[in-house]
Amino acid sequence: MFLNLSERFESIFKGLKQTGSIDEKSFDEAMRDIRRALLEADVALPVAKEFINHIRQESIGKEVLRSITPAQMITKIVSDELIKILGGSMSDLQIDENKSNYYLFAGLQGSGKTTTVAKIANYLKNKKNKSVLTVSLDINRPAAFDQLKKLSDDIGISILPKVENQMPIDISKRAIEFAKLNNIDCILLDTAGRTNIDDALMNELSQLEKEISPTETLLVLDSLTGQEAVNVVKDFSNKIKLSGSIITRVDGDARGGAALSMKYITDCPIKFMGVGEHIDDLEIFHPERIANRILGMGDIVSLVEKASENIDEQDAERMATKLQKGEFDLDDLLSQIRQMKKMGGLSSIMKFIPGLKNLENKISQNDSAENSIMKQEAIILSMTKYERSKPKIINGSRKKRIATGSGTKVSDINRVLKQHKKMTDMMKKFSKNGMGSMSPDQLSGQFGNMIPSDIFKK
């Protein structure tokens, strides 16, 4: 995600640092490099132009050329500009507490509308405690209703039942009645896909908008649309009034140009990003955090939030007590491994950690990291309770038994033990004040320690 751009910025800033003082020529060069990097990331041309213009203006205003650490100054200006272009501050879904809220989802066919409707339905139900109804207005594809029904069933959300041969506008009228009768807070309407801009379908969308008066009309856009995003947005916003957008398939796009262009070309905020096919693969769009990710500062805040969402509080307390007593044993390592699996595996965590982000690709390509984690789990599970609590007693013959039991080699057992030792040593350092005293860097180091070092060799 944003990997290419991130790499480019890293080398541009490195170059600036090396020049020490920055003259007009090296400044111009940096601006040209940034512009090229943006365009290669598929950022829309007018957006890239405006970006550079702002940086220029800001830089002149702040006398970058004469400041003491010009590279830092430019980094800061670029970072601010990046945040601005991504939308400034986070913009949550609007929800009126006093009435039923209607959300109309529009977008090209295959952009991820149906999947996103289900993801957001799940988000509203679980995070916002709302009653939710999904509605399929896609009568063009026979399987469209079934797809949304399956997704809704899976997350325990009702879908408006199907009535054969009903037109979208009539379905939406039925949805409104149903919502009133059943006191539904949020109604999510999935519309028909458009492979390209088709007048009949566009008019249908505009009619629906009038009928429903949605709280929000959201444009769903595939991240891989790239430069073409400008035209897609224009076509839709000529017909309907968009209130926000959602970028999908960000997980498969190393460039991220669409995300960078969307706010500028729609003039409305990006609300969410889809980062995978699974129902939980939805992230609230935080411009500041995304900018930090792009500029290679990692995204510790997201990581910490993600961790605290998944951590069982009792578990955490138990762990804290053990840490204070310096009693972190292999059972605790096991629960940390499981914790990590719950958080979506190693590769989903790595992208948040500064310094590890660049390894994300290498890891996901050979999967050896995830395998290695599974192996660690199998090894610990093959140990007796006593061995887990007193790793020191694990001698040669015990190692052989464990290796056979877990289908691994003695060298694998040694690696887990070494890993555990490394972690205990580090934990001891923080045991005085508990984990809460760890800085983001230390925290990321803690996760880093769980990653077997041998997987980075390739």
Residues that bind ligand GDP (CB under 6 A): 107, 109-115, 193, 248-249, 251-252, 274-277, 281
| Binding-site partner at residue 289 among ligand GDP, Mg ion, none, CB < 5 to 8 Å by type | none
Minimum CB separation of residue 211 from Mg ion in Å reads 20
Of 111 and 419, the one with the shorter C-beta distance to Mg ion is: 111
Q: Which is nearer to Mg ion, 114 or 245 (CB)?
A: 114
In angstroms, what is the minimal distance from the CB of 113 to Mg ion? Answer: 5
Could you tell me which of 387, 407, 393, 411 has the C-alpha nearest to residue 334? 387
Q: Write out the two tokens for 33.
A: 């490099």
Nearer to ligand GDP, 16 or 232 (CB): 232
**Choice between 110 and 355, CB closer to ligand GDP:** 110
Chosen from ligand GDP, Mg ion, none, partner binding at 348 (C-beta under 5 to 8 Å by type): none
Per CB under 5 A, which region of 109-117, 269-277, 426-434, 440-448 contacts Mg ion? Answer: 109-117
CB of 252 to ligand GDP, least distance (A): 5
> Which of 304, 298, 330, 343 lies closest to 435 in space, CA to CA?
304
114 near Mg ion, rule: CB under 5 A: yes
DSSP secondary structure string for all residues of 124-162 = HHHTS---EEEEE---SSTTHHHHHHHHHHHTT-EEPPP
- Least distance CB 48 / ligand GDP (angstroms): 25
CB 225 to ligand GDP: min, Å:
12
Q: Work out how close the CB of 381 gets to ligand GDP at its nearest, in angstroms, rounded to a whole number.
A: 32
Stretch that binds Mg ion, among 80-88, 105-113, 162-170, 375-383 (CB under 5 A): 105-113
x/- site string to Mg ion, residues 294 to 313, per CB under 5 A? --------------------
Nearest to 188 by CA among 161, 222, 167, 217: 217
Count of residues engaged in binding Mg ion, rule: CB under 5 A: 2
Binding residues (CB under 5 A) for Mg ion: these are: 113-114
